[in-house]
Amino acid sequence: MSYNTILTNQENAIATVTINRPTKLNALNKETIKELHDVFSKLEKDKEIQVIILTGSGEKAFVAGADISEFSQFSVKEGGKLAAKGQKLLFDFIENLSTPVIAAVNGFALGGGLELAMACHFRVASTNAKMGLPEVSLGVIPGYGGTQRLPQLVGKGRAMEMIMTAGMISAEQGLSYGLVNHVVSQEELISVCEKIAKKISNNSPVAISYAIKAVNAGFMNTVNGYEQEIKAFGACFGTDDFTEGTSAFLEKRKADFPGS
Binding site for ligand COA (CB under 6 A): 24-25, 27, 64-69, 108, 110-112, 134-135, 138
Query: Among residues 23 and 221, whose Cβ is nearest to ligand COA?
Result: 23
Query: Among residues 66 and 196, whose Cβ is nearest to ligand COA?
Result: 66
- Of the residues 95, 135, 194, 244, which is catalytic? 135
In the complex, minimum distance from the CB of residue 77 to ligand COA, in angstroms, rounded to a whole number: 18
Helix axes 112-119, 146-154, angle to 10 degrees: 60
Active site residue 70: no
Furthest-apart CA atoms within the chain: distance in Å: 56
Active site residue 78: no
Query: Among residues 65 and 151, whose Cβ is nearest to ligand COA?
Result: 65
- Of the residues 35, 115, 229, 244, which is catalytic? 115
In the complex, minimum distance from the CB of residue 115 to ligand COA, in angstroms, rounded to a whole number: 9
Nearest to 106 by CA among 18, 38, 173: 18
In the complex, minimum distance from the CB of residue 59 to ligand COA, in angstroms, rounded to a whole number: 12
Query: Among residues 100 and 132, whose Cβ is nearest to ligand COA?
Result: 132
Sign of the alpha-carbon dihedral angle for 231, 132, 172, 28? positive
Q: 230 phi and psi, to 5 degrees?
A: -60, -45
Report how far Cα 90 is from the mean position of its chain's Cα atoms: 9
Q: 98 phi and psi, to 5 degrees?
A: -80, -15
Residue numbers annotated as active site: 115, 135
